[in-house]
Amino acid sequence: MAKVWPLFGLVFAFASNATEVQLGDWKYYTVAPFYATTVNESGGLFGQRCNVDEGSCNYIMVMSEPCERDDRIPVIVNSVKSFVSTTLQCVGPLTEGKYIYNVGDFADVDSMVREAPRIALAFPSEGDSFKVVRFSMRGAIGSLDRMRAAAEKALDEVSKQPTRDLRL
């Protein structure tokens, strides 16, 4: 059950407006769950999620392309500045008809997101076809930096928990 909570967090993040801030084509959330995301014209979502409990961040993509949990799909992430070959790992269904994927190679993808006006992800689809999804990066840098600052602040608070012994 511990692996499922990020999915519920993502649904919560998009249902709640209390901590949502719009910046360009991106939105970011300043309380847990920590996300900075953009949605394309086809309803696909791309962004970064930071998990304070794990002390890590990763890129995610949500789309209608079905998958089975832990499936790995090769993907080329492309921009006007560069490209990287990596993988999409299926996390599983998010909502009816939408699936969530983790995007590999955090450092390379993060560099592309911060340098390009738009990115495209191309991967094999049904049969012998390929699917290409595109996302705007307008507002990405500010959204990512602000979301990560909020996540780092929350991480600092967690690390300040007392370590003295207790009798319960």
> What was the pLDDT predicted at 19?
79
135 lies in a domain?
Answer: yes
pLDDT per residue as tens digits for the range 72-110: 999 999 999 999 999 999 999 998 899 999 999 999 999
166 lies in a domain?
Answer: no
Residue that the structure tokens 């499922």 belong to? 4
Q: How many domains does the chain have?
A: 1
70 lies in a domain?
Answer: yes
87 lies in a domain?
Answer: yes
The CATH number of the domain holding residue 143 is: 2.60.40.1880
The pTM for the full model equals: 0.83
Radius of gyration from C-alpha coordinates of the chain: 17
Distance, CA of 18 to CA of 69 (rounded, Å): 31
13 lies in which domain range? 5-157
Of 29-33, 108-112, 115-119, 156-160, which range is least confident?
156-160
